[in-house]
Structure 1
Amino acid sequence: MQLSIVADPAGAVFGLWQKVNDSPWLREEPGAVDWLELVEAGCEDAFDFYENVLGVGTSQMAMGDGVYSLFDVGETSVAGAIEPVADIPPHWLVYFNVADLDAAVVRLTELGGAVRGEHASAPGVGRWIGVVDPYGAAFALLEPEPEAA
């Protein structure tokens, strides 16, 4: 596996890695990375950078009263991009899949982590909340919406 840690022009740090054949990348199960989100003021200004470096496309979808920006590989959205709600440095936020968001938050706080902000939800996505570990590293927990039977 080859790995490089780099930053976009605004300073959001991320990793580039080349997958080795048969290397597992877990998705859509508890504990796996479920979503990635660029949090950066003027995030749309970074789209050309990510399109040229990563070869992704960009699109937008309606969300609430506004739009949500997406990074796409082919027809599949693989990450999102949002404006920060506070004056925080540019970064990539990692969402980890959990089977039960409420239970995961209880366990997180028992282990010294803390909740940041309020629970949020979106149809077709699920429920999530921003959190930090005991050392201050930020991430999010996401309980995906159950698939329709």
Structure 2
Amino acid sequence: MSNEKPKNGQLYWTDMTVDNPAEVKEFYKQIFGWHEMEVPMKDGDESYVDYGMAVDPSTAAGGICHNRGKNKGIPPQWISYFYIDDVEKALQTCIELGGELLKENRKKDGTLSFAIVKDPQGAVFGMGNLT
């Protein structure tokens, strides 16, 4: 996968959160020919595996995640993420302009790593700097 940092405001990732990622990853593999890359995860003391999906070894297609841990409560739909340098500032602006916070995740230092929001028309998207 590319290590190049996305530009501010650039669409850079998409994923979905579901109850059974192992089952649905096969669905997308069969349709699109995607390849899976296991992503080790932890929820408390319990370990599990999410999936990064790729078109080929260097081209990401998206992620398929368990509805648990930091992804608990995210709706089961494909969510597109836009890269943003300052997630806190972007979230504040979003809310001031009539957007709504649906889910946030903070890094160990307390800063936001991503936020999932709804725009004033109801469209859902994510913004963050998970690179």
Q: TM-score, normalised by structure 1?
A: 0.66
Which structure shows the bigger proportion of residues in helix conformation?
A: 2
Paired residue for 2:62, among 72, 79, 87? 79
Paired residue for 2:28, among 43, 46, 50? 50
CA positional deviation for 1:73: 2.3
CA positional deviation for 1:35: 0.8
Residues 113, 86 of structure 1: CA spacing in aligned structure 2 closer, same or farther, 3 A cutoff?
same
* Runs of 4 or more above 4 Å deviation: none
Structure 2: how far apart are the matches of 1:138 and 1:54? 24
Larger relative contact order (Cα-Cα within 8 Å, sequence gap ≥ 6): 2
Task: Report the AA paired with residue 35 of structure 2.
Answer: G
2:97 counterpart of 1:111: yes
Q: Do the aligned residues in 2 keep the contact of 1:121 with 1:128 (CA within 8 Å)?
A: no
Which residue of structure 2 lines up, in the alignment, with residue 99 of structure 1? Answer: 85
Task: Please state whether the residue corresponding to 1:91 is helix, strand or coil.
Answer: coil
Task: Please state whether the residue corresponding to 2:129 is helix, strand or coil.
Answer: strand
Q: More deviation in 109-118 or 70-79?
A: 70-79
Task: Please state whether the residue corresponding to 2:85 is helix, strand or coil.
Answer: coil
Task: Report the AA paired with residue 96 of structure 1.
Answer: F
Q: For structure 1, which runs of at least 5 residues remain unmatched after alignment?
A: 1-26
Task: Report the AA paired with residue 51 of structure 1.
Answer: K
Structure label with greater radius of gyration:
1
2:49 counterpart of 1:67: yes
Aligned length: 115
CA positional deviation for 1:106: 1.2
Root-mean-square deviation (CA), in Å?
Answer: 2.4
Q: For structure 2, which runs of at least 5 residues remain unmatched after alignment?
A: none
Q: TM-score, normalised by structure 2?
A: 0.73
